[in-house]
Amino acid sequence: MLKYGVILACILSISLGAKTFPENFLFGAAGASYQIEGGWDEDGKGLSMWDVYAHTPGNIKNGDTGDIACDSYHKYKEDVALLKQLGLNVYRFSISWPRILPNGTPTQINQAGLNYYKNLIKELKAADIEPLVTLYHWDLPLHLLELGGWLNPRLADYFGDYARIVFENFGDDVKYWITLNEPGTTCTQGYEAGIHAPGLNLTGEAVYQCSYVSLLAHAKAYHIYDTEFRAKQGGKVTLNLACGWYYPQTESEEDAEAVRRSLDFNCGIYADPIFKGNWPQSMIDRIRERSKLEGYSFSRLPDFTEQEKSQINGTADYVSLNMYTSRVVWHISDYPIGPIPSLDLDLSVGSGVDPSWPASASSWLFSDPPGVRYLLNYLRDTYNPSEFVITENGWSDVGDLDDQGRIAYWKGYLSNILDAIVDDGINVIGYTAWSLLDNFEWAEGYTQRFGMIQVDFNDPNRTRTLKSSAKWYSGVVSTGQIDP
């Protein structure tokens, strides 16, 4: 009788046009160490480049820092209880490299740091919540920054030593790993624009060297897991991609090419080496040609050796995708060859937004829900990964409890992700919304709030309060469906 009841329910669901997420779909939320933990100088933790950058006057709005943030270093049990209350079954968090290795090297391992993450993972497992762990979410140990940071190819070896220690200590309980979060943001904002740590404005050169070193570091960690831990631990490892979708301003071939170039420079810069073995050809050609015209005897885009191509190619067991917004782009044909090269000059693309798209509190974030479906189809067709997890997708406001803008944003994006699964056959297995908590939003400090849970940063106890979006999202999780 039960069997026929299930069949009838399915028929009714289909007849009513309802779509349902797969039964084992991973619904969760996300956060990152520097943005939520606090405890910046407690229990043997070393300094990170974000500790120093945030403490430098003028770098962060209102002089905010992550010294206390959400105080999740002390309140992790409360965070896990909230995840469980909402019915979530996966939590994406990152490990603070200097909390484990105070100077970034294996010469000193901080047991208190290991204990913190062991206790967090234990708490998650007891609540039947899957940990999805990011090894690096931007808080580079200061010592390694002083050795050249993401411009130093040796950083790949340091990262490998760190990854091995993390895999050894936590890998039996972690099945989903991300090596680096949004390396493109680190490279563009930290080394090209200079508005994130380490605050360097080395345009047109450091951004590509940073990307090169990031890929080497990712591949190093991937192969350490593959050869030393996979057989016993059975997990999956990937690099995180932060990609947007792009629309041509006109139907011209030039603007169509601007779309392709935007995808290459912003997404393919990491996806192509991992899935195809080299940089996108458009990047290779354009940067080489512009470098030559600028007087260089070499391309500003580093060449991979054949060994490096082989090491990087194939190092993704799934796609971790951060997707927030879309852009309208057009070709610019008259970007000059000037005395100072830059990423923007190499790309030669203008960009804007459709005026009909709702805007968030962030100057860069606009809501275009269909973009995520277009992007998933593009990534599937271009790279053919086995599966996707949407690891960041969110909306900023000023912290209102009745956050209807966030609900509208998530409803639109989740609906399009569901369409991609059901109608397009794309294997999206999970979604970790950004973010669980209001937190330290990098250069914006606490002026922008992405959380589904409000944190009172004026209260020493950092009181947490569910917003309307948390209750709405919990309903989606419990039913597997999105209300019209």
Torsion region of 57: left, alpha or beta (phi above 0 gives left; psi -120 to 50 gives alpha): beta
Mean local confidence (pLDDT), 99-122: 98
Domain membership flag for residue 391: yes
Q: Classify the phi-psi angles of 313: left when phi > 0, otherwise alpha if psi is within -120 to 50, otherwise beta.
A: beta
- The mean pLDDT of 354-366, rounded to a whole number, is 97
Q: Is the peptide bond before 435 cis (omega within 30 degrees of 0)?
A: yes
Distance in angstroms between the alpha carbons of the first and the last residue of the chain: 31
How many angstroms separate the CA atoms of 441 and 420, rounded?
Answer: 30
**Structural domain contains residue 51:** yes
User: Where residue 333 falls among pLDDT bands split at 50, 70, 90?
Assistant: confident
Compute the distance between CA of residue 397 and CA of residue 450 in angstroms, rounded to an integer. Answer: 7
Answer whether residue 322 shows pLDDT above 60: yes
* Closest to 133 measured CA to CA, from 81, 172, 184: 172
- What is the total count of domains within the chain? 1
Given a cut of 70, whether residue 366 has pLDDT beyond it is yes
**pLDDT single digits (tens) 166-202:** 999 999 999 999 999 999 999 999 999 999 999 999 9
Comparing 483 with 28, which gets the higher pLDDT?
28
Q: What digits encode the pLDDT tens for the residues 202-228?
A: 999 999 999 999 999 999 999 999 999
Is pLDDT of 8 > 80? no
Say if residue 297's pLDDT is above 90: yes
Task: Tell me how crowded residue 13 is: count the other CB atoms within 10 A of its CB.
Answer: 13
- Give the residue numbers spanning the domain of 306: 22-478
Pair of tokens at residue 212: 């090169």
pLDDT at 40: 98
Quick check: 3 pLDDT over 80? no
In Å, what is the CA distance from 100 to each residue of 39, 66, 107, 454? Answer: 13, 18, 11, 29
Neighbours of 480 (CB within 10 A): 15
Reading the block at residue 203, the tokens are: 């345009």
Residue 11, pLDDT above cutoff 60? no
Query: Residues 278, 236: contact at Cβ < 8 Å?
Result: no
Interhelix angle for 281-293 vs 253-263, to 10°?
100
Query: From CA 182, how far away is CA 202, in angstroms rounded?
Result: 19
Bridging pattern class, strands 349-352 and 428-434: unpaired
Average pLDDT over residues 65-85: 98
Active site residue 294: no
Catalytic residue among 123, 192, 308, 392: 392
Catalytic residue among 130, 182, 192, 441: 182
DSSP conformation class of 365: -
Tell me the pLDDT of the chain averaged across its residues. 95
Please tell me whether the peptide bond between 198 and the residue prior to it is cis, using omega within 30 degrees of 0: yes
> Per-residue pLDDT averaged across 77-93, rounded?
98
Cβ atoms of 96 and 45 within 8 Å: the answer is yes
pTM of the predicted model as reported, rounded to 2 decimal places: 0.95
- DSSP string covering 223-270: HHHHHHTHHHH--EEE-EEE--EEEESSSSHHHHHHHHHHHIIIIIHH
Which of 255, 327, 341, 259 lies closest to 296 in space, CA to CA? 341
Residue 470 belongs to a domain: yes
Q: Considering the domain boundaries, does residue 7 fall inside one?
A: no
- pLDDT number for residue 334: 75
Residue 339: predicted pLDDT: 87
pLDDT-derived band at 262, boundaries 50, 70, 90:
very high
Q: How many CB atoms lie within 10 A of CB 368?
A: 24
pLDDT, average across residues 99-103: 98
Arithmetic mean of pLDDT, 348-374: 97
The CATH number of residue 383's host domain is 3.20.20.80
Residue 453, beta-bridge partner list: 437, 466
Any catalytic annotation for residue 205? no
Tell me the residue type at 481. Answer: Q
Q: Is residue 16 situated within a structural domain?
A: no
Output DSSP code: residue 266.
I
pLDDT at 17: 56
Residue 217 lies in a domain: yes
Place of tokens 């206390």: 68
Structure tokens that stand for 63 in this block: 């002089």
**Do 245 and 326 form a contact (C-beta atoms < 8 A)?**
yes
The answer to whether residue 114 sits within a structural domain is: yes
Residue 11, domain member (yes or no)? no
